[in-house]
Structure 1
Amino acid sequence: MSTGFAIEDLGENALLLRFGNTLDPDLNARVHALAGELGHDRPGWLLDIVPAFATLALCIDLEALAGESEPLEAVRRWLAARAAGEIRSPKEAPGRHHVIPVRYGGSDGPDLEAVARHAGIDTDEVIRRHTEATYRVAMLGFAAGFPYLIGMDRQLAMPRRATPRTDVTAGSVGIGGAQTGIYPRRGPGGWQIIGRTGVDLFDAARDPPALLGPGDTVSFISDTAKTEPPR
């Protein structure tokens, strides 16, 4: 029976489960559903589970499988037996919901007007569309705790800046292609910045350090109060 994904080697001690090659919400939901199942009943040899847009990386402790002549092949067989026909519906994918207040426009969102012009709508409509959607954290990457959020209104999609900024303020909410995201810390970046939040997305002393996790959902609300994000 097909598992619904291809299994590829990822170095000497990891496997990559590939569900597809596109940025597809249904594929991403399946990735997170299986990640949740494997995490809930994790065998001792499974060191880490790393979900991405359409792939799931499994980091394996080869020493824990020392009794197997071909450890990765044994894991392949285990995956086929464990996952075939058992992946939960995407509607049941694990995750928490977060509501993020955002101050849109002005110095907090210097690219809001450019996004509005690109979309052929006014800035109020950009804000309305950006806050109406419910997003899923497709993956974390680029910087610690940086969420790639899918589910944005297609009309708001806009290419990244031709020349990235060297200094983007922490908490900046941006648009990059068909996705939106939040910069957890101050640093360089090329996304179109439409607003800023005071929510702390990453704290190394917190458990877990990242506020948002893969598979979580996010909604934004417009915050008229002045926010002062960490810098």
Structure 2
Amino acid sequence: MASDMLIVEKPLQLKGQQPIAHGNRRAIYPVEDHPGILVKVLLSASAQRRVMPAKRLLRQLFPSLAYRFLFREYACYLRAKIAQSDDSGPLPISELRGLVQTDLGLGMIVENVCDRDGNPGPTLRRLLASGAFDARHLELLNNFVRRIYTLHIRANDLNPGNIVLGHRGGVEQFVLIDGLGDSHLIPVRSWARWMNTRSLNRRFAALTNPGRLVWDVGTREFRLPQSREGTAL
């Protein structure tokens, strides 16, 4: 597999490359000759934005704290894999492929969720903003929602920019690509299903993108606004 090859190619050369995404704490890089994967790396302390001085000091004293996201995301991924058990097909979250040393530090190898042509899949935000979101997408989105609840996925950043439409194994589906795991020091939402369910209810309700989606907490499903249902459904 591509990730197996990367593990022996140390360090992976990323310096000088342009990341395809850049957050407050991490950057995401493509890997030449391996289009099916991406590498997430932690930004240097000087490059990180909006880091409180107290947190910056803690990370200087305890460098391993900077990599809490690795433990958090892998714990969520492992729980989902175990919960999946007999359920076939890929998870509704991006697959994690392991770790690799890079010239920018430790990197996490993740699945690159692409469309049928191998291009990066569109985000839910893009589909909604462009007006391309239709009844077919609605069905796929609600299937994604059901699987998130069923597998008790802990999502701490469930926003439309982190939900991508891709083709995986010939199946079109929405995938949560970031914001996995419990961000709290004591991960009670990962332990208590009812607490996580309440959190998911709140986060999905905030995902409605005014005027484009309606969230029904009773059925835990999205629907299109009435003004669009007659033409879209």
Which has the greater radius of gyration? 1
TM-score above 0.5, yes or no: no
Query: Which one has a larger percent strand, Structure 1 or Structure 2?
Result: 1
Q: Which structure is richer in relative contact order (CA contacts within 8 A, separation 6 or more)?
A: 1
TM-score by length of 1: 0.27
Query: Which one has a larger percent helix, Structure 1 or Structure 2?
Result: 2
